Amino acid sequence: MVEKVAKLLREKKTVAFTGAGASLESGIPTFRGKGGLWEKYDPQIYASVPGILFTFLKSPDKISQFFVDFYEVLLKAEPNSTHYALAELERRGSLLGVITQNIDNLHQLAGSKVVSELHGNAYKFRCRVCNREETRDKKEVAEFLEEVKKLHTRKDLIRKLLSFIGRCECGRRLAPSVVFFGQPLPEEELVKAYQLIDKAELLLIIGTSGVVYPAVNLPFQAKERGCQILEINPELTPLSSIADIKISQSANIFFSQLLEYLG
Ligand code: APR
């Protein structure tokens, strides 16, 4: 199968579409399925702004614990073979870019340059008015988490959070670039994603359950345009029905074999 995929990569303009399964081997749990984040934390509360705000007012510790847990996993995560292979394919001119639902920044850390982050990025903070974006590095985030762990009142937690997120040059407060349920996807990321999908002759769908819209519209639209679809996922998903090739394997194992084959 590796040979077949390597041949396709040589012949077709290829784009990758990734989900949480691509980062599982980096130590970041998926959202759904056994051991997923939403098994431990109710997404109705922790993945929606109203849910977070309402819970924060009632029990601020629950929300700060969630974000400390979530970011501590992110901070420890390093790219795996999937991220490195996609970056190498882009470097060789065999991949146009990556469209990701992940917010962990691992594609960029592995060296991918063309990345459309449909659900934002956990390290970026944006001004909702002038759209200017700032990045907080892992050291700043780690220091912030250590301070948050010592705080328990709403007032102290809010003050610490606002001072960490900071203000834009225009004076307005920045906001996390992460997209919560019910929020629109970032315009410029969508534009980037559609530009990639429009050029794609082969779409590699890697590690996504294919259940979250509007992100999942993209693979279906690629299929409608006649793009060949290859899915890499140990499980069956709604996207398996449109896959021309289905690789029921862990992405990191497949891509470490592909990296070895490519030499
Ligand atoms: N290799 C490939 N796929 C894998 C691997 C692996 N090693 N391990 C798990 N998977 C697959 C699972 O079978 C599952 O289909 O990864 C998928 C992960 O699905 P989800 O946890 O639903 O993650 P994702 O599809 O990225 O979720 C989309 O939902 O909660 C929101 O915003 C969040 O971006 C996220 C969106």
H/E stretch holding 124 reads: strand 124-126
Q: What pLDDT score was predicted for residue 252?
A: 96
Q: What is the mean pLDDT of the chain?
A: 95
What pLDDT score does 137 carry? Answer: 94
Q: What is the pLDDT of residue 131?
A: 87
* Residue range 1-26+79-122+185-263, CATH number: 3.40.50.1220
Q: How much is the average pLDDT of 170-195? A: 94
Largest alpha-carbon pair distance within the chain?
A: 58
Contact assessment for residue 89 and residue 14, using Cβ atoms and an 8 Å cutoff: yes
Cβ-contact 124, 175 below 8 angstroms: no
> In angstroms, what CA-CA distances link 165 with 16, 109, 126?
31, 22, 9
Q: Is the CB of 219 under 6 A from ligand 1?
A: no
CA–CA separation, 178 vs 123, rounded Å? 9
The torsion defined by the Cα of 199, 203, 209 and 213, in degrees rounded to 10, comes to 10
Measured in Å, residue 169 CA sits from the centre of ligand 1 at 36
Using the predicted structure, report yes or no on whether residue 174 has a pLDDT greater than 90. Answer: yes
* pLDDT the model gives residue 34: 86
Containing H/E element for 188?
helix 187-199
Q: Which of 71, 79, 141 is nearest to 112 (CA)?
A: 79
Q: What CATH architecture applies to the domain 29-76+124-177?
A: 2-Layer Sandwich (3.30)
By the 10 Å C-beta count (0-12 exposed, 13-18 middle, 19+ buried), 10 is classed as exposed
Q: Determine the Cα–Cα distance for residues 221 and 249; give it in Å rounded to an integer.
A: 25
The closest-lying atom of ligand 1 relative to the alpha carbon of residue 235 is: 13
Q: Do domains 1-26+79-122+185-263 and 29-76+124-177 have the same CATH topology?
A: no
119 labelled catalytic: yes
Q: Please tell me the distance between residue 167's alpha carbon and the centre of ligand 1 in angstroms.
A: 33
The share of the chain scoring above pLDDT 90, in percent, equals 89
pLDDT at 263: 87
CA distance 234 to 207: 8
pLDDT of residue 19: 98
CA-to-CA distance for 128 and 169, rounded, in angstroms? 12
The pLDDT of residue 239: 98
Q: Render pLDDT for 65-124 as a digit per residue (tens, 0 to 9).
A: 999 999 999 999 999 999 999 999 999 999 999 999 999 999 999 999 999 999 999 999
Least confident stretch, 21-30, 60-69, 82-91: 60-69
Name the residue ranges covered by the structural domains of the chain.
1-26+79-122+185-263, 29-76+124-177
Ligand 1 atom with the shortest distance to the CA of 47: 30
pLDDT greater than 90 at residue 17:
yes
Share of the chain above pLDDT 70, in %: 100
Which region holds residue 132: left if phi is over 0, alpha if psi is between -120 and 50, else beta? beta
pLDDT for the residue 191: 97
Bridge-based pairing of strands 124-126 and 175-176 is antiparallel
| Burial (CB count within 10 angstroms: exposed 0-12, middle 13-18, buried 19+), residue 93 | exposed
* pLDDT on residue 179: 95
pLDDT class for 177, splitting at 50, 70, 90?
very high
Span 35-60, mean pLDDT? 91
Measuring from atom 35 of ligand 1, which residue has the nearest CA?
A: 101
Q: Is 194 exposed, middle or buried (0-12, 13-18, 19+ CB in 10 A)?
A: middle
User: How many whole angstroms separate alpha carbon 20 and alpha carbon 143?
Assistant: 26
Quick one: pLDDT band at residue 134, thresholds 50, 70, 90? very high
Interval between CA 162 and ligand 1 midpoint (Å): 31
**Element of type H or E holding 60:** helix 60-76
The separation between CA 2 and the C-alpha centre of its own chain, rounded to angstroms, equals 25
Give the mean pLDDT of 33-52. Answer: 91
What band does 205 get if pLDDT is binned at 50, 70 and 90?
Answer: very high
Mean pLDDT of 188-209: 97
